[in-house]
Chains A and B, each alone.
Chain A
Amino acid sequence: MDNLDRRIINALQGGFPICDAPYRQVALTLNITEAELLIRLKNLRANGILTRFGPLYNAEQMGGALTLAAVKAPEERFDEIADIINAFPEVAHNYARRHTLNMWFVIATETPEQVSQTIDAIEEKTGLTVYNMPKIKEYFVNLKLEA
């Protein structure tokens, strides 16, 4: 990753224009060509430095339901529990964290009922208690990290 990659990542975390030739418009502000920007973006996507590039949808605004949940996975069953939980298509993210509650995952479904059904199914398949922590209020969301 060089300085131009960093400038591209920083510029594109702030937003992206909706117009006929948006990459050309962004390239102009970065003083590079549209072709160079497209090649750089393809590489940044391919090597995983960018996990996504495009519209970021708000699941709840789309009528869906979302929750954060956690389990206390016993160390000797950690990988098995991760496999069980990750196999649910409703589980969008899953992170290992250092704590007795050591596995934290986001469940995203089309309806609130499906969230509780998924939690019940995870409890049944893992034999663990799922700590459900749906948001009561959102104060801020904007992940922007300087490259």
Chain B
Amino acid sequence: MLDAIDRKIIEATQAGLPLTPQPYQTIAEQLNLTADEVMARLAAMQASGVIRRIGAVPNHYKLGYHYNGMTVWDIPDDKIDDLGRQVGQLAFVSHCYHRPRHLPDWPYNLFAMVHGKTQADVDRQIRQISDLLGDCNRGSDVLYSTKILKKTGFRSRSKSTPSDSVNS
């Protein structure tokens, strides 16, 4: 469904949009396309879900969100889809997934990321998730990130190098 022109547009925009008054025109000039074609293809990729959204991604830490917790829960398999959707709907949850357990070390199958400026904020969020899960919560843990060791965009392999790292 993606053709060679789409892939060229993806490569040209993976590092970000140009900060020029007409950014789509700037991309078009680099790729020998028209701005209309670049815009039409970006809009189509957004509609099909290839692009989740166009926008800004802040560094949590620099906005003061020093408490970034990966909350993990052991939920009965027959309840996880229903509860996972409900946890994902909570405003403070940024990512929510069903992932496999690795017994016996890792009994958790529901992952929800929460972010707070204080420990009390995050504790409140975790309590809210725990209340929602009720008796279906058979065990849980919270893994706080202590350091970003690497963070890059998802780049096509031909272009990826460790120097693409944008913060530490």
Contact = CB atoms under 8 A, between A and B. Distances in A.
26 contacts: A8-B56, A9-B56, A38-B20, A49-B58, A53-B56, A54-B16, A54-B54, A57-B50, A61-B50, A66-B154, A68-B111, A82-B150, A86-B149, A92-B153, A92-B154, A93-B152, A95-B145, A97-B143, A100-B105, A131-B102, A134-B100, A139-B87, A139-B96, A140-B87, A142-B52, A145-B58
Max chain A C-beta neighbours (<10 A), residue from B49, B52, B70, B145: B52
B23 to A, nearest CB: 7
Interface in A71-118: 82, 85-87, 89-101, 103-105, 108-110
B99 A58 contact: no
Contacts of B97: 135-139
A66 to B, nearest CB: 8
Interface in A124-146: 131-145
A104 B68 CA distance: 13
A131 B100 CA distance: 10
A108 B19 contact: no
Interface of B: 2, 10, 13-17, 19-25, 35, 39, 42-43, 45-46, 48-60, 62-63, 65, 70, 80-81, 84-85, 87-89, 93-100, 102, 105-106, 109, 111, 115, 141, 143-157, 160-162, 166-167
Contacts of A123: none
Number of chain A interface residues as a range:
35 or more
Q: Which DSSP category, helix, strand, loop or mixed, fits chain A's interface?
A: mixed
A9 B154 contact: no
Max chain A C-beta neighbours (<10 A), residue from B10, B99, B155: B99
Contacts of A94: 148-151
A58 B24 CA distance: 20
B57 A24 contact: no
A43 to B, nearest CB: 10
Contacts of A61: 48-50
Nearest to A63: B2
Given A16-B17, A23-B21, A143-B57, A136 B94 contact: no
Contacts of B20: 38
Contacts of A90: 157, 160
A137 B81 contact: yes
Contacts of A96: 145-147, 149
Nearest to A22: B23
Max chain A C-beta neighbours (<10 A), residue from B24, B70, B153: B153
Contacts of A38: 19-21
B99 A68 contact: yes
Contact of A62 (B10, B58, B93, B98): B10
B150 A56 contact: no
